[in-house]
Amino acid sequence: MSTELTLEPKVEAALQLWHNMIETGDLSALPTIVAPDAQFRSPTGFKPYQSADAVVLILNTVIQVFENFEYHRQFAGANGRQVVLEFSANIGDKSLKGIDMVEFDEDGKIVDFEVMVRPASGLAALAAEMGRRLGQTLPTYKA
């Protein structure tokens, strides 16, 4: 049985803005689609980073870290407010694949952004570079 899942209109609009920002490399409009109490779940940490400021900081940084970043597939959740985005990227000589699992509220704002990455060598390169860039800043955003 195959059922096509669709996103709520406000979520679809926010997701289109997200894709446009990724394509241009300009995330200046990101705060407009992030809820104040949003959280970011890192592939290297157990506890999420909590607040819109943390989510915006992390996503603005990681887009600078990734090279050859590209989304490949998109899946919608049954409630119309969840999406999974499959991606690939490089960090130096390390290649990685991953997924962004993003949940939106009824206003089309990101409330939860979770990332999973493989293989371990790509994850290690990502963790090292993000730690180098944000290591002193990020601990203040954890729960």
The more confidently predicted of residues 1 and 130 is: 130
Total structural domains within the chain: 1
> Global pTM?
0.91
113: CATH: 3.10.450.50
Question: Which tens digits make up the pLDDT trace of 96-135?
Answer: 999 999 999 999 999 999 999 999 999 999 999 998 998 7
Alpha helices (H) along 66-119: none
Q: For residue 43, tell me if it sits in a domain.
A: yes
Helix (H, G, I), strand (E, B) or coil at 54: helix
Q: Which residue has the tokens 């899942």?
A: 5
% of the chain at pLDDT higher than 90: 83
Q: Hey, is 96 helix, strand or coil?
A: strand
127 is in which domain, residue-wise? 9-135
In this predicted structure, the answer to whether residue 137 has a pLDDT above a threshold of 90 is no
